[in-house]
Amino acid sequence: MLLYDKIPAHVGVIMDGNGRWAEVRGFPRIEGHRRGAERAKEIVTAANEIGVRVLTLYTFSLENWQRPKDEVTTLMKILEIYLRNEFNEFMEKKIVFKAIGEIWMLPENVQELIAETEQRTAANTGMTLVAALSYGGRNEIIRAVKRIISENVNPDDITEDFFESFLDTAGIPSPDLIIRTSGERRVSNFLLWQGAYSEFYFTETLWPDFTKDEFMAALNDYQTRERRFGAVPARVKS
């Protein structure tokens, strides 16, 4: 039974396994990405309905640019279609959309669509949906350092909170839970700074098969954890 007073405020998802899902079924890899986009829609809806405040989806990494050109082109088209098709849903559900990463590397039409979607949903008051696009955690940290240097900041003024204000996720709480599908057990350059004390949930399920029920199972598992943030466990009184 899910305890609604213990819902993680911020959930990050590494959506892995689209290509493998397609390959084992004899489909082109891109069919896996299409099914993955459909699954993302389902999980966004579920997260919003149960009260998650921020959902960050690892949508396209910096490393993904190394994939075949035709696959990347189709991925960009799927992203464009998703944003166009879901805009009315964002407005109806009051979802705020935000993209993080090296957005300038995306096709110009996608950049424009992202900017428009961010602007038009900015005043919404519901869940924030963060799309990590052309994103890498190390890259984000380096970019933050460069911006701090460019502002001639006194080193004594640099605290963790100050540094976080230069990250792409400034103003967004760190993820309480990070989910990774497909059986891989690594973070793959996702929210490296922000995930320092996140709880992790790994599943063998490939992303296109990751249903709302499994998402709920991940949240139930999260609620069994004792989050100590480096402190000792609470003592049980005898």
Instruction: For residue 168, indicate whether it is catalytic.
Output: no
Mean pLDDT of 210-236: 84
pLDDT greater than 60 at residue 236: no
Q: Which domains does the chain carry?
A: 4-222 (3.40.1180.10)
pLDDT value of residue 231: 67
Beta bridge pairs of residue 56: 12, 130
Express each pLDDT in 172-200 by its tens digit: 999 999 999 999 999 999 999 999 999 99
Express each pLDDT in 2-16 by its tens digit: 898 899 999 999 999
- Choosing from 5, 18, 48, 64, which is the catalytic residue? 64
Residue 56's φ and ψ, nearest 5 degrees, are -110, 125
Instruction: For residue 16, indicate whether it is catalytic.
Output: yes
Give the residue from 106, 67, 102, 61 showing the smallest Cα distance to 83.
106
- Choosing from 16, 18, 48, 168, which is the catalytic residue? 16
pLDDT value of residue 238: 45
Mean pLDDT over all residues of the chain?
95
Q: What percentage of residues in the chain have a pLDDT greater than 70?
A: 96
